[in-house]
Amino acid sequence: MKRDGGGDLYWTRPECQVWTVMLLLGTCLLYCARVSMPICALSMNEDFGWNKKQSGIVLSSFFWGYCLTQIIGGHLGDRIGGEKVILLSACAWGFITALTPLLSHLSNAHLVLMTLSRILMGLLQGVYFPALTSLLSLKVRESERAFTYSTVGAGSQFGTLVIGGAGSLLLDWYGWQSVFYFSGLLTLLWVYYMCRYLLNEQELILSLGVLAKGFPMSKQMKIPWKQLFKKAPVWAVIFAQLSSASSFFILLSWLPTFFQETFPDSKGWIFNVVPWLTAIPASLFSGFLSDHLISQGYRTITVRKVMQVIGLGVSSVFALCLGHTSSFCKSVIFASASIGLQTFNHSGISVNIQDLAPSCAGFLFGVANTAGALAGVVGVYLGGYLIETTGSWTSVFNLVAVVSNLGLCTFLIFGEAQRVDTISGYEDLYTTAQWYVRSAGGPR
């Protein structure tokens, strides 16, 4: 580690590169484990005799658990270090994923057991991104933060592609059980490598001890939440995150059905793979562009808002275009552009949370992501309702555009990049949070 001019600890360039690659792999494995169940759903339906309603219960149960631990994960990341929260949760979800096939042998109540396992998976994975936000806000310089976050965030698309390709082959060759073994054991291997080379067992044990004993709270460590939530920029970034997540979940949930119904003779791998392939370079480019503009002297908030104009505004234009074309080729292009450009949100609102409150970025991201996940559930349901009542897919894409642009306008009007976690009468909360994380054992 080395100190910045202000005395804050940041990763050195080599350290940042190593951690970025490893966290990219972690995000990839997070999505491999998350998407294993949807990939295997049809085969499991046949084995267990589930209908679509029962299958839907199992698949949707993940998000209810996912919503419950966002804030907790961010708070823990701010207090004991995001890297420790990530590794402890990854170890747990890796075991659960690998053991999922064995649950089918414990009882005939397959629906109950699988639903409970998905809820538990959601609870454990819900801490990941808030803890990641907390970690990067403390360890990565502002001028490098967008590229680092967008690179790590690209693991979500990469993981979806990996499990989509490898999982499909394993499913055909060895059955649905092999998909869970594959993603679960790879996650545990990643955890072992991280513990062996980037952290050590003593640091994780110390973190568990801190969790067991609770957190001593001095006046300086008590963050004045009421003051923070009186700030318009905080609510602006939360609402923008809500809009972004809701739009993403609507497209993620309904695009496959849109292509299957609108173009029944098309090849599924094209519309299930091409948009995600496009999203990976788009995410990396957004981070590079954002950091480059800041290094050239452009104001941070100006750059964040430009990223959001692309991530919420331009992407919604391509979503609207989906409802006004009958060409399969054009539809794939529009879908790829919309999903790809949404990754610019990684360099906008996602890092703006770190701009505003680096000492409690994990907590604030947890609040925003919880709101986004809940809004996503409502948005997906509303999308289905609109399809049933109007009989037109245009109404769904109009919904995406309206939600996206409401979030964009709010952020453009009220968004700021000045820190709001240093308040008169309190210590510099950012410095205090860094000291507390280091006292619990920071990354090597």
In a domain, 244, yes or no: yes
Check residue 212 and give its pLDDT.
Answer: 54
Could you tell me the residue range of the domain that residue 323 belongs to?
222-443
In a domain, 380, yes or no: yes
Cα–Cα distance, 154 to 333 (Å, whole number): 19
By three-state DSSP, how is residue 296 classified? coil
Same domain assignment for residues 198 and 227: no
Cβ proximity of 101 and 194 under 8 Å:
no
Cβ proximity of 187 and 33 under 8 Å:
yes
Give the DSSP H or E segment for 175. Answer: none
* Number of domain units in the chain: 2
**Sequence-separated (6 or more) residues with CB below 8 Å from residue 48:** 104, 110, 111, 114
In 49-154, alpha helices (H): 52-68, 70-80, 82-103, 110-125, 128-139, 142-153
Same domain assignment for residues 360 and 317: yes
In a domain, 3, yes or no: no
In a domain, 1, yes or no: no
Number of neighbours of residue 256 by Cβ within 10 angstroms: 13
Same domain assignment for residues 276 and 417: yes
Enumerate residue ranges in the chain where pLDDT < 70: 1-8, 52, 200-224, 268-269, 422-444
Cα–Cα distance, 11 to 152 (Å, whole number): 15
Same domain assignment for residues 236 and 208: no
By three-state DSSP, how is residue 409 classified? helix
Strand partners, 3: 9
Same domain assignment for residues 320 and 338: yes
Same domain assignment for residues 110 and 227: no
pTM for this structure?
Answer: 0.76
Check residue 378 and give its pLDDT.
Answer: 81
By three-state DSSP, how is residue 140 classified? coil
**Sequence-separated (6 or more) residues with CB below 8 Å from residue 372:** 241, 242, 244, 245, 246
Cα–Cα distance, 305 to 299 (Å, whole number): 10
Q: What is the DSSP letter of 230?
A: T
Of 170, 192, 213, the one marking the end of a domain is: 213
C-alpha R_g of the chain? 21
Same domain assignment for residues 153 and 233: no
In a domain, 5, yes or no: no
Q: For the chain, what percentages of helix, strand and coil (3-state, to nearest 5) are there?
A: 80, 0, 20
Spatial CA neighbour of 194 closest among 25, 72, 1: 25
By three-state DSSP, how is residue 2 classified? strand
Same domain assignment for residues 176 and 290: no
Same domain assignment for residues 126 and 193: yes
Of 192, 213, 234, the one marking the end of a domain is: 213
Spatial CA neighbour of 149 closest among 140, 157, 159, 158: 140
Spatial CA neighbour of 143 closest among 338, 351, 323, 314: 351
Spatial CA neighbour of 168 closest among 24, 43, 60, 51: 43
Same domain assignment for residues 188 and 234: no
Token pair of 32, please? 């491999």
Q: Rounded to 5 degrees, what are φ and ψ at 19?
A: -65, -35
Same domain assignment for residues 294 and 362: yes
Spatial CA neighbour of 83 closest among 195, 237, 242: 195
Check residue 432 and give its pLDDT.
Answer: 46
Check residue 440 and give its pLDDT.
Answer: 46
In a domain, 171, yes or no: yes
Same domain assignment for residues 293 and 327: yes
In a domain, 161, yes or no: yes
In a domain, 340, yes or no: yes
CATH of the domain at 163: 1.20.1250.20
By three-state DSSP, how is residue 9 classified? strand
Of 183, 213, 243, the one marking the end of a domain is: 213
Cβ proximity of 311 and 114 under 8 Å:
no
Cα–Cα distance, 178 to 181 (Å, whole number): 5
Q: Rounded to 5 degrees, what are φ and ψ at 416?
A: -140, 170
